A = this chain, B = another copy of it.
Amino acid sequence: MSSTNRFVTETTFYVRYAETDAMRIVHHSSYVVWFEEARSDYTRQRGEDYANFERQGLYLAVTEVNARYLKPAIYGQRITIRTWIETLQSRGMTFAYEVLNTDTRETHVTGYTKHICIDGQGAVKRIPEAWKKVGRERVKITQLRQKKQHYNG
């Protein structure tokens, strides 16, 4: 999975104690919650807040989650999640994630989530144009990214 030539957001926060488990590491389900928060933040950084999306009566329902666990994170450390749109179709999209140790930049987890656009009755809908622009503006976005000094592997 490559994030080349795409807009990549970074979301940084501390591990919460409640997110750990009896192995003294972050519980593996916490990363799935973090993926979701990372894509919420992606939409906020892009100016297309997902909360507004829902106010229009549309939802990006999750159809698949995948996470690969490379190195455990622990309480007391900071997490940075790099998030980008991997693919964009007319009715669905795939977000990809790298969960890093903020300080060492080591990768804890990589993953992706697949989504389909539905309305409140569960009917599949086209993704609105304003949202599709998010996936198209690669060059412009790349420039924006460079200004923000985001790493782009």
Contacts and interface: CB of A to CB of B under 8 A. Distances in A.
A85 B121 CA distance: 36
A17 B41 contact: no
Contacts of A69: 61-65
A62 B58 CA distance: 29
A23 to B, nearest CB: 6
Interface string A104-143: 0000000000000000000000000000000000000000
Contacts of A21: 17-18, 20-22
Interface string A29-73: 100110011001100100001111010000101111111110010
Give the number of copies in the complex: 4
A91 interface: no
A16 B40 contact: yes
A74 B50 CA distance: 13
B51 A75 contact: yes
A64 B61 contact: no
B14 A18 contact: no
Nearest to A76: B51
Interface of A: 13-14, 16-18, 20-25, 27-29, 32-33, 36-37, 40-41, 44, 49-52, 54, 59, 61-69, 72, 74-77
